[in-house]
């Protein structure tokens, strides 16, 4: 069988023409894990005019996509309880390496690069003990594991570097799972969600804040950090669906966790679930998605206060743009929006996709 046009194109993409290809395809705008109509999983990248420039097939469902701080490289992390991270060169559009979890461990869907780009830090489950682990892999030596330390709790989820470039912040969701029992939650009565500040050099927890006991079922899973190290957190409640609980929190080092609520009607419309949390360019505004309630809420970090909401059907992925107060939003319906909070303007991006897709939980923008 001969080479068809598509395969020829793929060959081109990995050959000597690659740099030109990148130039003609335009600069990337966003990347996200996605699912197509047939249920296949892929990483999809769009350029600044909303055109699909790359779809990379994944072995299973992924969760977060992290960009390397220096190189044109992204890491696509397998969702719990998957065991792969695809390391991709998005200029040459090729798989650099498929990183696998160590035997007896699996990923939780999130990983970050260290601030200097030398290490890949991933949240993992030590399946036998149920301990949350952080693995350190050497980016410049074939992603070999060079160290592991405890995450400070069960079920580590999102993680990020602080501005000092040496402290790692980890959200320990608190929920115990075992791959033999699928995604079933095994410890809802005893979970202890926490935020753990970890010194990367020693792997030691240097500060940790816990959810108060009466809200022990409020899982800390997603957060973002602004340049002043203010942490905005989106929560997920595991208790009775009729309970009225706060769903957002703020934190700064040395202080107590500050739990906050939207006005009653909005708080209940958030359906006890936050999906993604992102600061804007200015670091003052936070967008938090609540896909079960089909809405995005906006918060001011200064006063730790709710500002506004917009509706977004099945919207979950959030990323900032280069404009203060502006966010990109991706949805399970396959749409993307640009929303400017300050001007209260919403624009539906016109996308050119090769096949209809559902955007998965998290969105990466290249701003």
Partner 1 sequence: MPPSITKHWFLLALGSMLIANNAAAEISQDSWRRMNQNIVSQHILPGYEELLSQATRLELSTTQLCKAPTTENLETSRHEFRSTLAAWQGIQHITFGPIELLMRSYSIQFWPDKKNLTSKQLNKLLQAEDPDTLTDTAFQTASIAVKGLPAMERILFSDKAIELIQQSPFRCQLLHAISNYVKDQSEDTYREWQAFQTEFTYLESEEGQYESAQEASIDLLKSQIEPLEIIRDLKLIRPLGKQKAKTRRLESWRSQHSLQNIQINLQSLHHMYSGLEGANLYGLLKEQGAIDLANKIEQQFTELEHLIEGIPTPLEQHIHDEVVRNKLQMLAEGIERLGKYFETSMKHIQIQLGFNSRDGD
| DSSP tally for the chain: helices H, then strands E | 3, 29
Does 141 bind partner 1 (CB under 8 A)? Our answer is: no
Among 29, 31, 33, 35, binds partner 1 (CB under 8 A): 35
Q: Which of residues 202-261 bind partner 1 (CB under 8 A)?
A: 221, 236, 242, 244
Nearer to partner 1, 153 or 315 (CB): 315
Q: Should residue 10 be labelled a site residue for partner 1 when binding is judged by CB under 8 A?
A: no
Cβ neighbours of 141 (radius 10 Å): 9
Q: Which of these, 310, 333, 327, lies nearest to 363 by C-alpha position?
A: 327
Pairing of strands 326-331, 295-300: unpaired
Q: Quote the CA–CA distance of 326 and 331 in Å, as a whole number.
A: 17
Q: How far is the CB of 56 from partner 1 (least distance, A)?
A: 19
**Residue 269 in the binding site for partner 1 (CB under 8 A):** yes
E-state strands within 139-256 = 144-150, 156-161, 167-172, 194-199, 204-210, 218-225, 231-237, 248-251
Token readout for 24 is 């003609």
Give Cα separations from 32 to 54, 146, 302, 330, 336 (angstroms).
11, 28, 30, 9, 11
Under rule CB under 8 A, residue 156 binds partner 1 = no
| Among 248, 316, 319, 328, contact with partner 1 (rule: CB under 8 A) | 316
Residues 54-73 that bind partner 1 (CB under 8 A): 63
Is residue 358 part of the contact set for partner 1 (CB under 8 A)?
Answer: yes
H helix or E strand, kind and range, residue 7? helix 5-14
In sequence order, the 6+-apart residues with CB closer than 8 A to the CB of 244 are 264, 267, 268
Site size toward partner 1, by CB under 8 A = 35
Taking the complex as a whole, how short is the minimal distance between the CB of residue 283 and partner 1, in angstroms? 26
Please give the distance of CA 260 from its chain centroid, rounded to a whole number.
22
Nearest distance from residue 246's CB to partner 1, in Å?
Answer: 16
Figure out which of the listed residues 24, 201, 264, 350 binds partner 1, where binding follows CB under 8 A. 264
Stretch that binds partner 1, among 2-10, 116-124, 125-133, 309-317 (CB under 8 A): 309-317
Catalog residues that contact partner 1 under the rule CB under 8 A.
35, 37, 63, 79-80, 109, 157, 221, 236, 242, 244, 264-265, 268-269, 273, 275, 289, 291-292, 294, 311, 313-317, 331-333, 348, 358-361
């Amino acid at each position: 069988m001969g080479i068809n046009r598509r395969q020829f194109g793929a060959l081109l993409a990995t050959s000597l023409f690659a740099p030109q290809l990148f130039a003609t395809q335009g600069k990337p705008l966003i990347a996200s894990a996605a699912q197509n109509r047939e249920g296949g999983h892929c990483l999809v990248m769009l350029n600044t005019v909303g055109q699909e420039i790359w779809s990379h097939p994944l072995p299973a469902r992924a969760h977060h996509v992290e960009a390397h701080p220096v190189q044109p490289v992204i890491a696509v992390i397998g969702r719990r309880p998957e065991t792969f991270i695809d390391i991709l060169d998005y200029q040459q559009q090729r798989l650099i390496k498929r990183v696998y979890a160590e035997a007896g461990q699996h990923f939780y869907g999130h990983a970050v690069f260290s601030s200097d780009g030398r290490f890949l830090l991933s949240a993992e489950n030590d399946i036998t003990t149920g301990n949350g682990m952080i693995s350190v892999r050497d980016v410049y030596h074939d992603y070999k594991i060079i160290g592991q330390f405890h995450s400070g709790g069960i079920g580590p989820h999102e993680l990020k570097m602080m501005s000092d470039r040496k402290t790692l912040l980890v959200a320990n969701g608190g929920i115990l799972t075992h791959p033999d029992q699928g995604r079933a939650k095994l410890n809802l009565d005893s979970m202890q969600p926490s935020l753990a500040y970890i010194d990367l050099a020693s792997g030691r927890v240097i500060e940790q804040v816990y959810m108060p006991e009466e809200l022990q079922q409020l899982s800390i899973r997603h957060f973002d950090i602004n340049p002043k190290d203010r942490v905005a957190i989106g929560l997920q409640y595991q208790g009775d669906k009729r309970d009225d609980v706060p769903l957002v929190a703020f934190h700064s080092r040395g202080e107590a966790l500050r739990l906050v609520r939207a006005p009653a009607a909005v708080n209940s419309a958030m359906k006890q679930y936050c999906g993604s949390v992102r600061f804007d360019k200015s670091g003052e505004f936070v967008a938090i998605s609540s896909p079960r309630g089909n809405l995005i809420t906006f918060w001011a970090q200064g006063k730790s206060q709710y500002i506004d909401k917009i509706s977004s059907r099945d919207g979950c992925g959030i990323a900032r743009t280069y404009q203060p107060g502006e966010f990109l939003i991706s949805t399970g319906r396959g749409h993307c929006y640009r929303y400017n909070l300050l001007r209260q303007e919403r624009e539906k991006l016109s996308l050119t996709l090769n096949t209809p897709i559902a955007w998965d939980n998290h969105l990466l923008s290249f701003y």
